[in-house]
């Protein structure tokens, strides 16, 4: 009974179809719509290798290989290789089975999603074959690789199935506590979904065996009942028979021989339905133990010797396809049962003979599968598992760091973008506000300019229509007054009156001319000064008047500034003509960006105290006031006996 789990994993099968599922698949094969559909159905039938006879599997495995070579893709050809491996394994041809598996593994890869399931099944079958050939170290190496790959690709079915197999191997090695650890991992990797029913039933049956070995009968009973419930539901006759045998073993352990016998009878009936009741070593060992427990020791001896095929040239396959127990691990199980029987009977000679065979078998078995080597494999797996766990944890930490840094960077970028957007928006608002203010200023300036222009025109019109008309009338009426009155004072008064009225008309003319202009250029102002000098020549014939121009770039002057400028030139010229005793009076007009005007005379120069009042009046004060109001600079340069120069410039100059 020590090797029930081992038998579950490694022993070949030979059964006949007895389930509705197999009948359904066979019907689908016969009624396939096309060749490709038929190939898929044949491959599905070969996947049920535990539930069909070896002859049937042989027929359909070869059919699958021929069809796949002819019309199949890589996946179908790999599936056909797996079918051939199942067939070879069922006949006990382990080497041929391994060759077929290696051929299939060359066609698929775990990295391809569509090929991954088939890759895991091929590699698992390779582990089964290696274990069946007593190459436990090689089998464990493949299983550890499978577990790691299944974890990497999150394939829960492959992961749970291979963890369960590792638990089975631990049971074979008489390590039930270790087996419980593997089985717990296997059960924890799957959910209660129906698609996990088959692997869960196998896990529960192994749990039952492990807890029985640990003398935990309650747990063993719970798991065997749960496992059998699943086996009945999914109609898997292989697992059902194994579960019934294990239940019988547990019942015998508990001393419930009637329940054990009922389970064994149901197991044998299940095996008969499957086609070969003699081939299942675990079942046979269970029956032999039942014979021993019920006092039928001789029957147990005869039964085991018959299965060992003593006195024959032992081979994997006996006559008529019967499987003979040549596997060293299987023979060891029968040797132990026989030694126990002869010890019960008290027959020392055969008892000692079988003890020697047990020692020899164990030496042969452990030579190929030393406990140290297996422990080394498991240690390497554990180390690799821990390294993978550390790498995964480091990856998770790195991923969290990247997420944190990425979030902070994104937050920083978002903040910077928000600030830029806000700054741009604020800048636009400021520009918009400044534009509105400027527009308002421009509008106000235009309104003021328009008002000034209107007022200027109104004043010019009033001067022209009123004062101008009256002044012209006075001048005209003076022509009718006697020019040579007898009284000298009257004559002088009349002459002065005529002179003043002419001056009024001239000044009004100049003022109206300026006020009628929206703006005046420096050249236009210079021309007006020339007209003014022409009028002065009649009053001061002894003075030479001249206007010199050096205007590189004409300058436009607003009307009110032009009025002040013209009045300053006029005032300075009249003062010089009247009081300087000059014979030459020149106005120098310069313009290039800004402007500069000088009124020069060659008279006697300014007397002391004339810096404020000019030549005895308010001329200089008035000119300073006008210059200050317009924002200009005015200077007087005078030297006794050499004349006077009045310099007028814009402030920038």
Question: Concatenated DSSP letters for 240-264?
Answer: HHHHHHHHHHHHHHTT-HHHHHHHH
Q: What is the CATH number of the domain that holds 618?
A: 3.30.565.10
The whole-angstrom separation of Cα 538 and Cα 534 is: 7
Distance from chain centroid for Cα 176:
48
463-512 pLDDT, tens digit each: 555 555 556 566 566 566 655 655 676 666 666 666 666 666 666 666 66
Q: What is the pLDDT of residue 205?
A: 94
Decide: helix, strand or coil at residue 643.
strand
Average pLDDT over residues 524-549: 88
Kindly state whether residue 414 falls inside one of the protein's structural domains. Answer: no
Strands (E), 602-642: 632-639
Kindly state whether residue 31 falls inside one of the protein's structural domains. Answer: no
Kindly state whether residue 128 falls inside one of the protein's structural domains. Answer: no
190-244 pLDDT, tens digit each: 888 888 888 999 999 999 999 999 999 999 999 999 999 998 888 777 788 889 9
Kindly state whether residue 639 falls inside one of the protein's structural domains. Answer: yes
Among residues 312, 336, 354, the one where a domain terminates is 354
Domain count, the chain: 2
Tokens at 133, concatenated? 């050939």
Among residues 354, 374, 400, the one where a domain terminates is 354
C-beta separation of 318 from 278 below 8 A: no
Kindly state whether residue 613 falls inside one of the protein's structural domains. Answer: yes
Average pLDDT over residues 90-114: 90
Average pLDDT over residues 116-123: 92
Q: What is the pLDDT of residue 13?
A: 35
Segments forming the whole domain that contains residue 564: 519-650
321-345 pLDDT, tens digit each: 344 444 666 777 788 888 889 888 8
**Mean model confidence pLDDT for the chain:** 79
Residue 314 DSSP one-character state = -
Q: Does residue 616 surpass a pLDDT of 50?
A: no
Decide: helix, strand or coil at residue 584.
strand
The whole-angstrom separation of Cα 405 and Cα 403 is: 6
Kindly state whether residue 258 falls inside one of the protein's structural domains. Answer: no
pLDDT more than 70, % of the chain: 75
- Where is average pLDDT lowest: 72-81, 153-162, 408-417, 511-520? 511-520
Average pLDDT over residues 80-86: 93
Beta bridge mates, 546: 586
Q: What is the pLDDT of residue 515?
A: 61
Kindly state whether residue 423 falls inside one of the protein's structural domains. Answer: no
In 3D space, the residue among 361, 371, 317 whose CA is nearest the CA of residue 338 turns out to be 361
Residue 278 binned pLDDT confidence (cut-offs 50, 70, 90): very low
Residue 101 binned pLDDT confidence (cut-offs 50, 70, 90): very high
b/e per residue, 77-97, with b = 16+ CB within 10 A? bbbbbbbbbbbbbbbbbbebb
Q: Does residue 458 surpass a pLDDT of 70?
A: no
289-321 pLDDT, tens digit each: 777 877 788 888 887 887 776 433 333 333 333
Kindly state whether residue 328 falls inside one of the protein's structural domains. Answer: yes
139-196 pLDDT, tens digit each: 888 888 888 888 888 889 889 988 998 888 888 878 899 999 999 999 998 888 888 8
Among residues 313, 334, 354, the one where a domain terminates is 354
């Amino acid at each position: 009974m020590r090797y029930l789990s081992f038998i579950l994993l490694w022993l070949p099968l030979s059964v006949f179809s007895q389930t509705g599922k197999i009948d359904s698949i066979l019907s689908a094969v016969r009624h396939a719509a096309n060749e490709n559909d038929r190939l898929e159905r044949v491959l599905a039938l070969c996947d049920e290798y535990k539930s069909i006879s070896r002859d049937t599997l042989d027929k359909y495995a070869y059919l699958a290989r021929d069809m796949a070579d002819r019309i199949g893709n890589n996946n179908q050809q790999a599936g056909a290789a797996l079918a051939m491996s199942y067939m070879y394994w069922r006949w006990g041809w382990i080497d041929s089975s391994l060759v077929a598996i290696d051929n299939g593994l060359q066609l698929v890869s775990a990295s391809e999603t569509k090929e991954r399931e088939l890759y895991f099944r091929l590699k698992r079958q390779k582990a089964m074959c290696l274990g069946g050939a007593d190459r436990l170290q090689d089998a464990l190496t493949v299983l550890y690789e499978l577990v790691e790959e299944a974890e990497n690709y999150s394939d829960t079915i492959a992961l749970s199935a291979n963890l369960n197999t590792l638990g089975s191997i631990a049971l074979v090695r008489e390590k039930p506590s270790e087996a419980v650890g593997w089985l717990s991992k296997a059960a924890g990797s799957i959910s209660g979904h129906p698609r996990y029913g088959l692997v869960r039933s196998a896990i529960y049956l192994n749990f039952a065996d492990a807890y029985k070995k640990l003398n935990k009968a309650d747990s063993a009973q719970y798991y065997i009942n749960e496992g059998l419930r699943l086996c009945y539901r999914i109609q898997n006759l292989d697992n059902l028979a194994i579960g019934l045998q294990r239940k019988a073993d547990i019942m015998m352990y508990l001393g419930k021989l009637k329940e054990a016998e009922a389970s064994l009878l149901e197991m044998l009936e299940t095996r008969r339905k499957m086609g070969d009741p003699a081939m299942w070593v675990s079942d046979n060992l269970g029956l032999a133990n039942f014979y021993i427990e019920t006092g039928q020791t001789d029957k147990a001896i005869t039964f085991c010797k018959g299965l060992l095929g003593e006195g024959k040239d032992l081979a994997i396959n006996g006559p008529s396809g019967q499987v003979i127990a040549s596997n060293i691990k299987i023979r060891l199980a029968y040797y132990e049962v026989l030694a126990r029987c002869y010890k019960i009977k008290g027959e020392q000679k055969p008892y000692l003979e079988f003890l020697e065979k047990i020692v020899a078998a164990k030496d042969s078995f452990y030579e190929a599968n030393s406990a140290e080597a297996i422990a080394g494999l498991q240690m390497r797996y554990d180390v690799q598992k821990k390294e993978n766990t550390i790498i995964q944890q480091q990856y998770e930490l790195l991923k969290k760091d990247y997420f944190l840094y990425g979030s902070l960077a994104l937050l920083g970028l978002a903040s910077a973008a928000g600030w830029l957007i806000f700054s741009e928006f604020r800048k636009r608002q400021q520009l918009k506000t400044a534009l509105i203010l400027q527009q308002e200023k421009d509008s106000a300036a235009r309104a003021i300019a328009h008002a000034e222009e209107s007022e200027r025109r109104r004043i010019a019109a009033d001067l022209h229509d009123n004062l101008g008309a009256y002044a012209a009338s006075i001048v005209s009426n003076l022509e009718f007054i006697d020019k040579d009155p007898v009284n000298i004072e009257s004559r002088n008064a009349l002459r002065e009156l005529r002179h003043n009225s002419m001056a009024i008309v001239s000044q009004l003319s100049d003022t109206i001319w300026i006020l009628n202009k929206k703006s005046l250029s420096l050249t236009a102002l210079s021309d007006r000064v020339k007209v003014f000098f022409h009028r002065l020549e009649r009053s001061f014939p002894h003075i030479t008047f001249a206007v010199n121009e050096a205007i590189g770039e004409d300058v436009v002057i607003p009307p009110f500034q032009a009025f002040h400028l013209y009045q300053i030139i006029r005032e300075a010229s009249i003062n010089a003509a009247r009081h300087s005793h000059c014979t030459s009076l020149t106005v120098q007009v310069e313009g290039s960006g800004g402007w500069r005007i000088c009124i020069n005379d060659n008279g006697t120069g300014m007397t002391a105290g004339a810096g404020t009042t000019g030549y005895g009046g308010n001329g200089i004060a008035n000119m300073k006031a006008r210059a200050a109001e317009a924002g200009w600079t005015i200077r007087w340069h005078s030297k006794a006996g050499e004349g006077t120069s009045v310099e007028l410039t814009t402030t920038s100059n």
